[in-house]
Structure 1
Amino acid sequence: MMRKTLTVLALGLTLSALGTGAVLAQSSAAKATVDAAKAAGVVGEQADGYLGIVAGGDDALRASVAEINIGRAAAYKEIAARTGVTPEAAGQATAKQLYSRLAPGYYWKPLDGGWMKK
């Protein structure tokens, strides 16, 4: 189990090093929309590895978040298939890497809590 955990963490580091935009399927428009919403405090990262709406947002933003989350889900399933862990574990390992790069003032949602600013 420890080896699988380390493998998932290493893959999370690889995703971070390459940039999640380079690895996870998403359009540049969706990424730009979500990046602006993150900076505005409308969208945040979650400890499960997915994006979430902090507050507000229109249908276009929700569609962009959904598009990116679909890409992330596919990546987590691929990681899980290669490493023998669950997609949930792969998402959580990647989320730890995303959190480490999260700028101060951006929103984060732990698995057992509500939204908080980093």
Structure 2
Amino acid sequence: MFPKLATPAFIALLTLSGLSYSEPAVALQQLTLQQAMDQLHQAKADGWVGEQPNGYLGVVRDSAQARQIVEQINEARRKEYARIADENDIAVADVELLAGKRAIERTQSGHYIKIDGQWKKKP
């Protein structure tokens, strides 16, 4: 059975061997927000997702699992940013930018952040 989050090296090895890789159908099951939150730290540590200056997560290495984590958590963030903006009578865009700045500042060394449109590991 293939690993749940196959690495690019694993996929390359399969390709060189004349095999192909497709994500298991089980990976396409919709994650709940709690499941996405439970998987977020590992997804960041594995370099699958990272923080962006706009306050939202982004997919660094594309996979169905990474996309689902990002979608679930970003939807929750959107709702929270809207609540904060409404509560403080400010624009959602201002909340997003402040949240993005804080998220990048708090990102652990070695995890990905998006700087000037490029994914980079935080020193």
Using structure 1 for the length normalisation, give the TM-score. 0.70
Unaligned runs of 5+ in 1: 1-25
Calculate the aligned-residue CA RMSD, in Å.
1.5
Q: Which has the higher helix share?
A: 1
**Highest RCO, 1 vs 2 (Cα 8 Å, sep ≥ 6):** 1
- SS of the residue corresponding to residue 105 of structure 1 reads coil
Sequence identity percentage:
35
What residue in structure 2 maps to residue 6 of structure 1? none
- For the 8 Å contact 2:51–2:112, the answer to whether it is kept is yes
What residue in structure 1 maps to residue 93 of structure 2? 88
- For the 8 Å contact 2:113–2:119, the answer to whether it is kept is yes
Unaligned runs of 5+ in 2: 1-31
Equivalent residue runs for 1:1-118 within 5 Å: 27-57=33-63, 59-110=64-115, 112-118=116-122
Runs of 4+ aligned residues of structure 1 deviating over 2 Å after TM superposition are none
Using structure 2 for the length normalisation, give the TM-score. 0.67
- For the 8 Å contact 2:45–2:111, the answer to whether it is kept is yes
- For the 8 Å contact 1:47–1:92, the answer to whether it is kept is yes
Q: Which residue identity does 1:33 align to in structure 2?
A: Q
- For the 8 Å contact 2:48–2:66, the answer to whether it is kept is no
